[in-house]
Amino acid sequence: MTLKSLLLAVGLILAGGAVLAEGELSTLRPTAPIDQEAEAEPIPDVINSDMRQVRNYPDQPPLIPHKIDNYQIDLDANKCLTCHSRTAVEMSQAPMISVTHFMNREGQTLATVSPRRYFCTQCHVVQHDVKPLVVNNFVDVDSVLDFVRGQQGGGE
């Protein structure tokens, strides 16, 4: 590292520290002195509608549309499978887990859920009705495609 780039790096760090000291930098951390614990806001209730939610992007794992408080998911048991396994869906009317969950890394189909897909909450999450912490201008792929189709159809 040259002396010039070292001085530049030190200058940027000091300038960043000045911004932090003045409180101009916006963070997700609640405003409280650094040596004190901030009071956390209560976590809002889980959306418990049992209605499937639209996926925002291809291959997004489906969201869990109900509460899963106290669901046991460990090496001994998986509460999700009491409703979502192949043998339970007729009685529960819950969607069956994807056939991909019965495949190993080599693509071979297994008789039971693959160990790498057994812990559902690694990918699937519940939703809370909350205000976003940051501005998000995300547009799902279907909306983009609808827009493009509208642009193409309007120019003909």
Q: Is 66 annotated as a binding residue?
A: yes
Residue 137 lies in a domain: no
- Which residues of the chain register pLDDT less than 50? 18-19, 156
Q: Is 69 annotated as a binding residue?
A: no
Q: What is the CATH number of the domain that holds 98?
A: 1.10.1130.10
Q: How many domains does the chain have?
A: 1
Q: Are 73 and 120 in contact (CB under 8 A)?
A: yes
pLDDT of amino acid 96: 95
Predicted TM-score (pTM) of this structure? 0.64
pLDDT of amino acid 141: 79
Residue 82 lies in a domain: yes
pLDDT of amino acid 17: 56
pLDDT in tens, 55-99: 877 789 999 999 999 999 999 999 999 999 999 999 999 999 999
Q: How far apart are CA 43 and CA 28, in angstroms?
A: 15
Q: Is 84 annotated as a binding residue?
A: yes
pLDDT of amino acid 15: 60
Q: Are 138 and 56 in contact (CB under 8 A)?
A: yes
Q: Is 123 annotated as a binding residue?
A: yes
Q: CA nearest 127: which of 12, 54, 45, 14? A: 45
Q: Is 128 annotated as a binding residue?
A: no
Q: Are 102 and 44 in contact (CB under 8 A)?
A: no
Reduced to 3 states, what is the DSSP secondary structure of residue 78?
strand
Residue 141 lies in a domain: no
pLDDT of amino acid 36: 84
Domain hosting 83: range is 45-131
Q: Is 153 annotated as a binding residue?
A: no
